[in-house]
A and B are shown apart, each in its own frame.
Chain A
Amino acid sequence: MTERTGGNEKYLYYPGCSLHSTAEEFNESMQALLGALGFVWEELSDWNCCGATPAHAQSEFLGAALPLRNLILAERQAETWDRPTGGAVELLVPCAACYSAFRLAEHEVREGGERGRELGREVAEVMGRPFEGNVAVRHPLEVLGRQEAADRLRAGVERPLTGLKVACYYGCLLVRPSEVVSFESDPEHPESMDKLMTLLGAEPVRWSYKTDCCGQSMAVAESGLVSELTGRIVRAARGAGAYALVTACPLCMMNLDSRQKPGPGERALPVFFFTELACLALGVGRPEAWFRRHLTDVRPALEVLEAKQSASA
């Protein structure tokens, strides 16, 4: 297994609340993709909510302590594995919001001085053991970008996404604050998703809204703000010639998928999780079922794809 997963025999997997509710299609397509590429993983048992924006807005302690419980659980779970290589176990966190919360909490415990030590101490009291740093938090985009995974992905493409112009949208949480969360060489111009789309045969467009904010969790209390921000992003993607937006974040998906107000004669721009498009190209999973859960009709993009595919066949 070691050679197939880039040095780690097995991963831990944290779905988070969105992947169990609004973004089940992200969870299913993520796992279908990982499975198709030969990854081996175990879901973190008894995981709790990372707290998202409401937790850090209400209390810095809460925002860090909730993810920290999960990190301690992860260490405990990985200890029961028979691991020949040792080293930190990688915890895959597909939801960008959870990923960010985990990285920030880990950073606070390690680098946060007296405040970080106090946080670590208090959560250790609750959990009966401290966080020792033997778990490394990873976003799947980072792991999928490693040479071996990328090679397997390229080799697995059955139906290339030829001619599908996509605007890869990274949002905030995967790139900022870059010194804590980012795995991109230039966090103001991230490329991991663009590279992955290129491997699948799609054509990522050049555009300048890759890391603009969609409004995150303001959708319920400040829907006007979110409509304005998502409107700007959709207009920019459309202006760049994209047939669809691609995201790695359930909050971005929720906002972009639900708040579009297409102008006269326009159709709403489809939004995909990058994993859905990857599965479509690999011919794995149940893309039809996932697409039925979207609020914005994805057919305009699929029709373009079919036309381009048959033209190039």
Chain B
Amino acid sequence: MGSGAVELYLPGSEGRPVLLSPGFVREVEDLAGRMVSRCYQCKKCTSGCPAGFSMDYQCHEIIRLVQLGARDEALRSAAIWLCASCRTCRERCPNDVDPATVMDCLKVMAAAAGVPLGRRRVRTFHRAFLATVAALGRAHELGSIALYKLAVPGAALDDLGLGLRMLSRGKLKVAPDGIKGRGEVAAIFRRAKARETRLRKRFGRTGAAEGRGGHT
């Protein structure tokens, strides 16, 4: 057993010793602005979580991982990307932990840390969507779906029938809308980018760059 590694059995760790970072809970609390340590594992969040059936760790387990300092387990989980941001957990948590915001915070940290992402294609979709907003000031569905499909191998034919039905009913605009204040929107994106760069310095990219690794 190396320093910081303890024999900890977690559903996703398959008996491997899990490396704990004791400072992790403070980092998350600081970045998310939420008191994760207040969670007493009542599972009220998980009981109401609609995406739980698809998650590797349930909502309260993600919170527990953070409390324990199981940084890698939390940051590599699929759960943080499968969270649909419905905020049921936030609404019902008796301790105001706001797991929904913690999930967002963990996504940001995972991307900044450069760990392999549990569901990279969700992030790819977010980036494709935001790329059209950054360029035009408004979202452009066709553009973002095209960018997403270019980036995700094997996705080109997903939902092709649906895409065609949407096109034929005029639901997907071909020509994008652009706004005059694109410069202001671009300035907002630059400031967001500067924050990301600061976070990357802080949490460090641990080897695997974001461009690497397959889509899951």
Q: Do A and B come from one complex?
A: yes
Q: Is B51 an interface residue (CB 8 A)?
A: yes
- Rounded to whole Å, the gap between the CB of B32 and the closest CB of chain A is 8
Q: Decide if B127 touches A58 in the complex (CB within 8 Å).
A: yes
The proximity string for B residues 105-142 relative to A, scoring 1 for CB distances below 8 Å and 0 otherwise, is 10110010000000101111111011001000111110
Contacts of B121 in A (CB 8 A): 221-222
Please give me the 10 A-B residue pairs with the lowest Cβ-Cβ distance, nearest first: A213-B86, A54-B126, A176-B87, A17-B139, A62-B192, A221-B125, A172-B86, A213-B50, A54-B129, A48-B137
- Rounded to whole Å, the gap between the CB of B126 and the closest CB of chain A is 4
A177–B85 alpha-carbon span in the complex (Å): 11
Q: Decide if B170 touches A24 in the complex (CB within 8 Å).
A: yes
Q: Is A1 an interface residue (CB 8 A)?
A: no
Q: Decide if A49 touches B91 in the complex (CB within 8 Å).
A: no
Q: Decide if A52 touches B129 in the complex (CB within 8 Å).
A: yes
Stretch of B4-12, B17-25, B61-69, B158-166 on the interface side: B158-166
Q: Contacts A51-B130, A177-B90, A213-B84: A61 and B191 contacting too (C-beta < 8 A)?
A: yes
Total contacting residues, chain B, CB less than 8 A: 60
- List 27 A–B pairs whose Cβ atoms lie within 8 Å, in order of A's numbering: A22-B171, A22-B172, A46-B137, A47-B179, A48-B179, A48-B181, A52-B139, A53-B85, A54-B125, A54-B127, A55-B130, A55-B133, A56-B104, A57-B104, A57-B108, A65-B191, A126-B191, A172-B86, A172-B88, A176-B91, A217-B125, A220-B145, A220-B159, A221-B119, A221-B152, A222-B122, A295-B165
A188–B87 alpha-carbon span in the complex (Å): 12
A251–B159 alpha-carbon span in the complex (Å): 17
Number of A-B contacts (CB under 8 A): 173
Q: Is A83 an interface residue (CB 8 A)?
A: no
Q: Is B188 an interface residue (CB 8 A)?
A: yes
| Besides the known contacts A46-B137, A216-B86, 20 further A-B residue pairs in the complex with CB atoms under 8 A apart | A20-B177, A21-B140, A47-B179, A49-B138, A49-B139, A54-B129, A57-B123, A60-B104, A65-B192, A66-B185, A69-B184, A73-B181, A123-B188, A178-B91, A211-B88, A212-B50, A221-B122, A221-B152, A224-B54, A295-B166
Q: Decide if B53 touches A228 in the complex (CB within 8 Å).
A: yes
- Rounded to whole Å, the gap between the CB of B108 and the closest CB of chain A is 7
Q: Decide if A127 touches B189 in the complex (CB within 8 Å).
A: no
A294–B21 alpha-carbon span in the complex (Å): 51
- Rounded to whole Å, the gap between the CB of B92 and the closest CB of chain A is 9
Q: Contacts A48-B181, A225-B51, A295-B166: A115 and B33 contacting too (C-beta < 8 A)?
A: yes
Q: Contacts A51-B130, A218-B84: A58 and B177 contacting too (C-beta < 8 A)?
A: no
Q: Contacts A126-B187, A212-B50, A218-B122: A176 and B181 contacting too (C-beta < 8 A)?
A: no
Q: Which of A21, A55, A188 has the most CB of B within 10 A?
A: A21
Prevailing SS type, chain B contact patch:
helix
A58–B130 alpha-carbon span in the complex (Å): 9
- Rounded to whole Å, the gap between the CB of B166 and the closest CB of chain A is 7
The proximity string for B residues 85-102 relative to A, scoring 1 for CB distances below 8 Å and 0 otherwise, is 111101100000000000
- Rounded to whole Å, the gap between the CB of B66 and the closest CB of chain A is 17
A224–B129 alpha-carbon span in the complex (Å): 20
Which of B107, B137, B170 is close to A293, meaning CB atoms less than 8 Å apart?
B170
Contacts of B107 in A (CB 8 A): 57-58
Total contacting residues, chain A, CB less than 8 A: 56
A211–B170 alpha-carbon span in the complex (Å): 29
What residues make up the interface of B, taking CB atoms closer than 8 Å to A? 33, 50-51, 53-54, 82, 84-88, 90-91, 104-105, 107-108, 111, 119, 121-127, 129-130, 133, 137-141, 145, 148, 152, 158-159, 162, 165-166, 169-173, 177, 179-181, 184-185, 187-189, 191-192, 195-196
Interface residues of A in 223-270 (CB under 8 A from B): 223-225, 228-229, 258
Q: Which of A17, A48, A126, A220 has the most CB of B within 10 A?
A: A220
Q: Is A59 an interface residue (CB 8 A)?
A: yes
What residues make up the interface of A, taking CB atoms closer than 8 Å to B? 17, 20-22, 24, 46-49, 51-62, 65-66, 69, 73, 115, 122-123, 126-127, 172, 176-178, 187-188, 211-213, 215-218, 220-225, 228-229, 258, 292-295
- Rounded to whole Å, the gap between the CB of B109 and the closest CB of chain A is 12
Q: Contacts A60-B104, A221-B119: A46 and B86 contacting too (C-beta < 8 A)?
A: no
- Rounded to whole Å, the gap between the CB of A41 and the closest CB of chain B is 19
Q: Who on chain A is nearest to B101 by CB?
A: A60
Q: Decide if B170 touches A176 in the complex (CB within 8 Å).
A: no
- Rounded to whole Å, the gap between the CB of B56 and the closest CB of chain A is 13
Q: Decide if A220 touches B125 in the complex (CB within 8 Å).
A: yes
Contacts of B82 in A (CB 8 A): 218, 222, 225
Q: Decide if A176 touches B88 in the complex (CB within 8 Å).
A: yes
